[in-house]
Amino acid sequence: MDKFTIKDIAKLGEVSTATVSNFLNGNYTKMSVATRDKLAGIINKTDYHPSTTARNLAKNENKTIGVSVADITNPFTSPVISGLSERCEAYGYKMIFTNSNNDEQREIENINRLREEEVAGFIIDPVNPDSSIYNQLSNAYTVIVDRQARRSVVDTVVTDNMNSVATMVRKMVAKGYDDLYFVSWPLDGVSTRLNRYAGFKLATKYLNDDHLITVPYNTSLSQGSSFDATLDHILANKGDKRVGFFAMNSRTLLQLLKAAQRLNYQYAEDFGVATYEEFEWMQLMNPGISCVRQDSFAIGCAAMDRLKEKLTTAFDNEPAPEVQLIPTELVYRDSF
Amino acid sequence: MDKFTIKDIAKLGEVSTATVSNFLNGNYTKMSVATRDKLAGIINKTDYHPSTTARNLAKNENKTIGVSVADITNPFTSPVISGLSERCEAYGYKMIFTNSNNDEQREIENINRLREEEVAGFIIDPVNPDSSIYNQLSNAYTVIVDRQARRSVVDTVVTDNMNSVATMVRKMVAKGYDDLYFVSWPLDGVSTRLNRYAGFKLATKYLNDDHLITVPYNTSLSQGSSFDATLDHILANKGDKRVGFFAMNSRTLLQLLKAAQRLNYQYAEDFGVATYEEFEWMQLMNPGISCVRQDSFAIGCAAMDRLKEKLTTAFDNEPAPEVQLIPTELVYRDSF
DNA sequence: CTGTTAGCGCTTTCAG
DNA sequence: CTGAAAGCGCTAACAG
């Protein structure tokens, strides 16, 4: 690679480095068009590129933002990154990327590395949004995506879990489903689950948790499981009621559908169903599954927009954290 | 953020900046254990972090690699990035990330931006591996992943497309399938498609392209499409022949399966099928779909390994490009 | 309009 | 074992 510095091209142009610097920064008013053209020519010829490192040091600024994602493998993550990178580019920021692989410790290391890098801001898809590490990050230059802390300490952008579910479930109610159940992993204080369930209760107006069915996280159920039993119980005794299920995400939907298959119930006929999240394979199902389609790309965009906004305003003191809700798209098919 | 510099902590420690620097770089032999401990204490207390920017400038090195991916949205990409980031971390590199969104022009801009950033090396998942932009990048510090140029100019790591497909299709042949078809997006000179198809021809020994079925890229087919027509034609007139399809990737598989569904053909009974790529949902299909499981994570790892290797060896002149094939895993289920 | 010069925060000889 | 000082490549007053 060329080892041209600003000095070299100053020498070639027979001007001072200051003039070259001005040229590089577009301060054309400070030089004759003659030297301006000359410089332009030289720089073109030599394929000279100023060192961003030196520039950053001199200006004491760093147009890069650090991003830490909980799990790059999660299909939710890619579109978020896509949105981020689009906006980064638009705003002239580079993004340095780290993956925590769902490991809190690693996330902490990543964040620290990013701090040493002196990034201008942070975008974080947190492993655990309630972790105390986020307290060390000022809300003046960080935003969190996807998961929401119980008590947010920094700006957060998430999908509108509650209202999406409420809308979908209301649709079920309107269609005459009068015995509805929310199928979920244990709530465990996880914001996404809690908010989706809140939407369910909002729509159904159930006052207690009798209609919450919990399936274990990350274990595959089989015949005779207690889940199968409750499912069978509900469906066998439904009488005139129309029963419907809302699955909190695609994995719980899968559990539900497989159990129903084992018990020989058919959806749309024996029960209605809808789910959060959409995946390719749902298109293959017949009838099609109604679902809540999350706009992860928009989350990425919104997060970066917010960050950019914060980065370009001078705060007297740290702004109060806000949470921004990104709307979803409801896809109605024939599963209820 | 703290505005501590090396001077501040030198002052606090009543030593020179040189000593602090030595401490920071682990040159403990150059100081008494007394000052060493003192410094350790101070740095801990003050939460001082040296500026990477200044350090990079002073040492004239930059432990970051630039990555440009063709399309972050492609499910293939995430595991690659995962592998990259894992290895980057292990080797002490940061990675600055750019997405080209399948746009050649944008890719060029991204690469140029990365050059200005003075990254130590490049990992590129190219939009078009035959683009001339890659000629500007020395093979001494770049490696390409996923797509292979007709005539590679830099090291490339790809999955072993041809042999994987050949092996899978041979298995179909061995099972008695004697009328096989390759379902693909238009080949369009794309190396992955060409190589997979080459594997198919290798196994089937077909000499012409009569058994290549092309589906349009990124458009969803419906009843009455010409694809439906050819499919129906093949299946309706198969007579005693056993027909099998190999789908070039999961999206074409989906097209195939959906069309078959529309036409009321069942796989494993009316035809056999296998595919490149594996996704979660394939495990739930009944019967299970035989597939070629690509190890994208390994690609990421291998790419970074190779880059690191190059970055730490001094070349007299640019090394000759090599292509590294990452083996796949064949998963046999009951779809043929 | 152009040049001089003092930094930015750290590294690295070279003396002591 | 420790410090002084000269850079790394660029920017930004400030003079001229």
* Same domain, residue pair A168 and A208: yes
Residue A334 lies inside a defined structural domain of this protein: no
* Same domain, residue pair B107 and B206: no
User: pLDDT (tens digit, 9 = 90+) per residue, B147-172?
Assistant: 888 888 999 999 999 999 999 999 99
The C-alpha of B77 sits at a distance from chain A's nearest C-alpha, in angstroms, of: 9
For nucleotide C8, give the residue with the nearest CA to its C1': A58
* Same domain, residue pair B148 and B254: no
CATH (domain of B89): 3.40.50.2300
CB-CB under 8 Å, A77 with B94: no
What's the pLDDT at B220? 73
Q: Is the pLDDT of residue A1 over 50?
A: no
Task: Report whether A7 contacts A18 (CB < 8 A).
Answer: no
What's the pLDDT at B199? 97
Task: Report the pLDDT averaged over residues B22-41.
Answer: 84
What's the pLDDT at A207? 94
* Same domain, residue pair B177 and B110: no
Place of tokens 């379902």: B183
Task: Report the pLDDT averaged over residues B112-125.
Answer: 90
Residues of chain A with Cβ-Cβ distance to B77 below 8 Å are 78
Residue B143 lies inside a defined structural domain of this protein: yes
What's the pLDDT at B48? 84
Identify the weakest region by mean pLDDT among A138-152, A224-238, B35-49, B67-81: B35-49
What's the pLDDT at B258? 86
* Same domain, residue pair B80 and B21: no
Strands B243-247 and B212-214 turn out to be: unpaired
What's the pLDDT at B133? 87
**C-alpha to C-alpha distance for B304 and B327, rounded to whole angstroms:** 17
Residue B257 backbone phi and psi in degrees, to 5: -65, -40
Task: Report whether A262 contacts A228 (CB < 8 A).
Answer: yes
B73-86 burial, b for 16+ CB within 10 Å, e for fewer?
bbbbbbbbbbbbbb
Task: Report the pLDDT averaged over residues B55-76.
Answer: 90
Total beta-carbon pairs less than 8 A apart between chain A and chain B: 114
**C-alpha to C-alpha distance for B181 and B242, rounded to whole angstroms:** 11
> Which of chain B's residues 53-92 bind strand D, using a 7 Å CB cutoff?
54, 57-58, 60
* Same domain, residue pair A300 and A312: yes
* Same domain, residue pair A23 and A58: no
Q: Is the pTM of this model over 0.95?
A: no
What's the pLDDT at B1? 45
Q: Is the pLDDT of residue A313 over 90?
A: no
- What tokens appear for B265 in the block? 């053909």
Q: Is the pLDDT of residue B12 over 90?
A: no
* Same domain, residue pair B154 and B300: yes
Residue B21 lies inside a defined structural domain of this protein: yes
Runs of H (alpha helix) within chain B: 6-13, 17-24, 33-46, 52-59, 77-91, 104-116, 161-174, 191-204, 226-236, 250-262, 296-311
Q: Is the pLDDT of residue B2 over 70?
A: no
Residue B183 lies inside a defined structural domain of this protein: yes
CB-CB under 8 Å, A77 with B78: yes
Residue B335 lies inside a defined structural domain of this protein: no
**C-alpha to C-alpha distance for A292 and B35, rounded to whole angstroms:** 61
- What tokens appear for B44 in the block? 């801990």
- Minimal Cα distance from A113: which residue of B? B94
- The whole-angstrom distance between residue B332's C-alpha and the CA centroid of its chain comes to 24
User: pLDDT (tens digit, 9 = 90+) per residue, A27-76?
Assistant: 888 788 888 888 888 888 888 888 888 888 888 888 999 999 999 988 88
User: A115 and chain B: CB distance < 8 Å anywhere?
Assistant: yes
Residue B336 lies inside a defined structural domain of this protein: no
* Same domain, residue pair A185 and A248: yes
Helix (H, G, I), strand (E, B) or coil at B245: strand
**Mean of per-residue pLDDT scores for chain A:** 90
**C-alpha to C-alpha distance for A260 and A228, rounded to whole angstroms:** 8
**C-alpha to C-alpha distance for A78 and A82, rounded to whole angstroms:** 6
- What tokens appear for B46 in the block? 């003050």
Q: Does A7 contact strand D, using a CB cutoff of 7 Å?
A: yes
What's the pLDDT at A293? 93
pLDDT confidence bin for B284, thresholds 50/70/90: low
Residue B334 lies inside a defined structural domain of this protein: no
Total number of domains in chain B: 3
CA of B27 to C1' of C16 (A): 20
Q: Is the pLDDT of residue B235 over 50?
A: yes
pLDDT confidence bin for B283, thresholds 50/70/90: low
- Expressed as residue numbers, the domain containing A70 is 53-158+296-324
Q: Is the pLDDT of residue A103 over 70?
A: yes
* Same domain, residue pair B177 and B290: yes
Who wins on pLDDT, B131 or B82?
A: B82
pLDDT over 70 for what percent of chain B?
Answer: 98
* Same domain, residue pair B129 and B13: no
Residue A330 lies inside a defined structural domain of this protein: no
* Same domain, residue pair B233 and B254: yes
For nucleotide D1, give the residue with the nearest CA to its C1': B31
What's the pLDDT at B80? 96
